[in-house]
Chain A
Amino acid sequence: MRETIISTSGLTKRYGDLVAVNELDLTIGKGEVYGLLGPNGAGKSTTILLLLGLAEASAGKAMVCGFNPATHAIEVRRRVGYLPDDVGFYDSRSGLENLLFTARLNSIAKDEARRRAWQILEQVGLASDAEKKTGTYSRGMRQRLGLADVLIKKPSVIILDEPTLGIDPQGVREFLDLIVRLSREQELTVLLSSHHLHQVQQVCDKVGLFVDGKLIADGTIDALSAKLFASEPLFVEVGFAVRNGATQMNPDELMPLTDRIRRIEGVGSVGFAEGILRVGCVNDPSSAIARAIFDAGYDLTLLQKTRYGLDEIYHRYFQERETYGKTA
C-alpha cells in the first residue's frame, strides 16, 4: 500500500444552485500518475482549485501532502506545482527571467535559482530559447516552459490541468513522455486532468471518471474495465463470409450461428453490426468460435480479440448518463 498524498472526503463546491464538485472522495498515493477524466465542465478544474486552496470548499475536506489547503494553503503550494490549462507568462520577459521569478517566489536564493533554472530548461529542451522573450514562444514551448516553471520549486506533487490542449501530436507525445520520465525519476505524484482518453490511457496508472461534479468510478484502467464489464472483460470481433457466394446476410438467417456461439462456454452477449459479430466473453473462446463458424458453413475472415479500453469505458458511462437524463 502506497502512502497517501492527496485525499478528499465529501469535498463539495457549489456556485449558487450549480454543484461543481459533488461529495468527492478521492485518494491518490505517492508516486502515482493519476488521470482525472471527464468532459468539459465536469468539475475537474474546480477540484484542482480546491486542492490548491485557490477556492473555498462549500463542504468536505481535502488533505494534500499532509496539509489542509483551506487553512494551510501556503504549505500546500510550497509542495505542489500547478500548471493551468492556458498558462500565462510575462511576455516582455525572457523564459529564463520568468523561471527565476517563480524560483525566487519560492524563496530559492539567486545563485541556486539560476543553476536550477538552466538545468530544468535543459531537461524540457528550452535551453537554446531561454533568453528569448516568452511573447515569441509557440504554444508547445509555452507549455514546456510551464512544466519547467512547475518543476523549479522541486514539488512532490504536480497538478496539470489539460496540459496537452492545443499542442500538435508529436509535441503531445514528447510532453507526456517527459512527464512520465520525470515522475519516475523524481518519485513525483502527478495529477493530470484531461478529456483526451488516449493520452490518459498512455500515461496514467490510475484514472478517475468525472461527470457532473461526481467521481463515478476510479481505479486502474484494468480494474475499471473489469468492474464495468464484469461479465465480459474481453470481446472478440468475428468477420465471416458465406461459402456459397451469397453476399447478403440478414440477422434472421444467422440465428443458428449466433445460437451456436452463444452456447459456447464463457460467451456473454453476441451482437451483429456492419457484417461483424461482436462477442463479449470472459475467457478466450476464439478457437471454439472459429469451429462454430466452420460448422455453420461459413468462412472465417476476421478474428480479433480486444480488451476494453478507456474509450469503451467512457462511452459506456456516457450511455448510462444519457439514459439517466432521459428518465429524469
Chain B
Amino acid sequence: MEKLLDLYHSFAERSRRITWRQIAVPLRRLMRAERRFEALHPFWVIVGREMSDHIRSWRFIILLVLISLTCFGSLYTGLNNIGTPKVGGTDVNRAFFFLQLFTATDGTLPSFIVFLNFLGPLLGITLGFDAINSEINRGTMSRLLSQPVHRDHVLNAKFVASLLVIATLFFALTLLMTGLGLIFIGVPPTASEFLRILSFTLLTVLYVAFWLNAAILFSVRFRQPATSALCSIAVWLFLAVFYPILIKLVAKALAPEPGPFGNFDGSAANFQHTVITLLRFAPGQLYSDATTTLLMPVVRSLGPLTMEQVAGAIPNPLPLGESILIVWPQLTGLIAATVGCFVLSYIGFMRKEIRAR
C-alpha cells in the first residue's frame, strides 16, 4: 500500500513538472506522422487539389481583391452614415446599431449587401464556369476518371471545393468587417446582432452557391469554357437587370384602375402580390429580400400590408427567430434552385461519355 502511495506521489511529482510543451510537441509529432502514413479518401484529395487550384488562379485573386475593396469601401460608407448611437432611444433602428454597418448608405456608394448582390454571382460563375469542360479539353478528365474514383465524386468534389473557398472568403470578410467596425465604433454587437451577421453570411454563401451550380451546369452542357462563361453571365444579367424591368413594365400596363373612391376590394393588394411573386423568380430578389429582413430587424413583412394590418402595430424589432421565419420561403427557394441546378448538372455529367481529347 505504501509502495503504491509512493508510486502515486512520484507520478504526481513528475506530472507536475511536465509542461504543456512536453506534451504538445510529441503529440503534434505523432499526429503529423499519423497523417503521413494514412491515405486520404480520394474525394478529399480532389477537393484539396481543386481548392489549391482556385486559390492560385489569377481570376480568383482578382475577384478577391475586388470583393475586399468593396468590402472596405462599404465599411467606409457604413461608418460615415451610421450616425450616433442612442442608448435607450426610441428609434428602433438605433437598437440594432451595429447592423447598420452593412446596410447604411448615403446614396453615393451602395451598401455592402447591394454590392454582394451584384458581385456574388460573378464569384460563383468565375469558380464554376469551366469546372468540367476545361478538364475534358485538357485531357485530364479521362485520366482522372480512369483512377479508382467514382464519377460523381469528381463533380461533388468540385462543388464542395468551390463552396469551401467561397465560405471561407465570405466568413473571413464579414468577420473582418465586424472586427474593424468594432474598432472604429467602439460599440460591440449584441449576441443577436452577431447571430444575424452570421446568418447573413451563410445566406450569402448559399446565394453564391446557386450561381456556382448554375455555372457548373453550363460547364457540363457546353464544351467550350467561353460559351459556358458567356451563358452564365447572360443568365445572370437577364435575371439581375432585365427581368425586373420586364415584370415592372408589364405590371404597369396591367395594373387595375383605382375606382373614384380608391380600391377597397383588395384587388390592388392582390395584384401587388402577384407582381412581387413574379419578381421573386430571380434569385437576386430572394437574396435581397432575405438579407434586408435579416439585417434590418424592423422589417416584418416582405409583401404589401393593408392599413388594417399595420394599424396598432408597435414598431418593435423582431427577434432573430421571427426574422428567419419571414425569410424561410426565400431560403427554401434559394436552396431549391441550387439543388435543382446541381441535379441537372449531376445527371448531365453522369451520362456524359468522356473520351480522350
A residues near B, CB below 8 A? 45, 49, 52, 54-55, 74-75, 77-78, 80-82, 84-92, 101-102, 104-111, 146, 149, 153, 161
A86 close to B356 (CB less than 8 A): yes
What CA separation (Å) do A54 and B144 show in the bound complex? 11
- In the assembled complex, which residues on chain A have CB atoms less than 8 Å from the CB atom of B135? 88
B148 close to A105 (CB less than 8 A): yes
The answer, yes or no, to whether B139 is at the interface (CB within 8 Å) is: yes
What CA separation (Å) do A224 and B149 show in the bound complex? 39
What CA separation (Å) do A153 and B149 show in the bound complex? 13
Pick the residue among B35, B36, B46 that contacts A105 (CB under 8 A): B46
Distance in Å: Cβ of B209 to nearest Cβ of chain A: 25
What CA separation (Å) do A81 and B146 show in the bound complex? 7
Pick the residue among B38, B41, B146 that contacts A77 (CB under 8 A): B146
A104 close to B40 (CB less than 8 A): yes
Q: Please count the residue pairs between chain A and chain B whose beta carbons lie under 8 angstroms apart in the complex.
A: 94
Distance in Å: Cβ of B237 to nearest Cβ of chain A: 30
Distance in Å: Cβ of A160 to nearest Cβ of chain B: 12
Distance in Å: Cβ of A190 to nearest Cβ of chain B: 15
The answer, yes or no, to whether B2 is at the interface (CB within 8 Å) is: no
- In the assembled complex, which residues on chain A have CB atoms less than 8 Å from the CB atom of B36? 109-111
Interface centre among B36, B41, B140, by most A CB within 10 Å?
Answer: B140
B353 close to A49 (CB less than 8 A): yes
What CA separation (Å) do A88 and B357 show in the bound complex? 8
Residue of B nearest to A108 (CB): B39
A161 close to B356 (CB less than 8 A): yes
For this complex, 11 residue pairs linking A to B, each with C-beta atoms less than 8 Å apart, are A54-B146, A77-B147, A82-B142, A86-B139, A89-B140, A101-B45, A104-B39, A104-B45, A105-B45, A109-B38, A161-B356
Distance in Å: Cβ of A2 to nearest Cβ of chain B: 25
The answer, yes or no, to whether B9 is at the interface (CB within 8 Å) is: no
A87 close to B49 (CB less than 8 A): no
The answer, yes or no, to whether B143 is at the interface (CB within 8 Å) is: yes
The answer, yes or no, to whether B29 is at the interface (CB within 8 Å) is: no
- In the assembled complex, which residues on chain A have CB atoms less than 8 Å from the CB atom of B49? 90, 101
- In the assembled complex, which residues on chain B have CB atoms less than 8 Å from the CB atom of A90? 49, 53, 138, 140
Distance in Å: Cβ of B150 to nearest Cβ of chain A: 7
What CA separation (Å) do A91 and B37 show in the bound complex? 28
Distance in Å: Cβ of A24 to nearest Cβ of chain B: 18
Distance in Å: Cβ of B52 to nearest Cβ of chain A: 9
- In the assembled complex, which residues on chain B have CB atoms less than 8 Å from the CB atom of A108? 39
- In the assembled complex, which residues on chain B have CB atoms less than 8 Å from the CB atom of A109? 36-39
Given contacts A86-B356, A86-B357, A87-B356, contact A77 B148 (CB under 8 A): yes
Residue of A nearest to B38 (CB): A109
- In the assembled complex, which residues on chain A have CB atoms less than 8 Å from the CB atom of B38? 109
The answer, yes or no, to whether B56 is at the interface (CB within 8 Å) is: yes
B356 close to A85 (CB less than 8 A): yes
Pick the residue among B39, B46, B143, B149 that contacts A149 (CB under 8 A): B143
A54 close to B142 (CB less than 8 A): yes
Residues of B12-49 whose CB lies within 8 A of A: 35-42, 45-46, 49
Given contacts A45-B356, A92-B56, A107-B39, contact A84 B143 (CB under 8 A): yes
- In the assembled complex, which residues on chain B have CB atoms less than 8 Å from the CB atom of A161? 356
- In the assembled complex, which residues on chain B have CB atoms less than 8 Å from the CB atom of A74? 148-150
What CA separation (Å) do A75 and B145 show in the bound complex? 13
- In the assembled complex, which residues on chain A have CB atoms less than 8 Å from the CB atom of B252? none
Besides the known contacts A101-B45, A109-B38, A161-B356, 5 further A-B residue pairs in the complex with CB atoms under 8 A apart: A54-B145, A102-B143, A107-B39, A107-B41, A111-B37
- In the assembled complex, which residues on chain B have CB atoms less than 8 Å from the CB atom of A75? 148
B147 close to A102 (CB less than 8 A): yes
Given contacts A104-B39, A104-B45, contact A87 B143 (CB under 8 A): yes
- In the assembled complex, which residues on chain B have CB atoms less than 8 Å from the CB atom of A110? 35-36, 39
B42 close to A105 (CB less than 8 A): yes
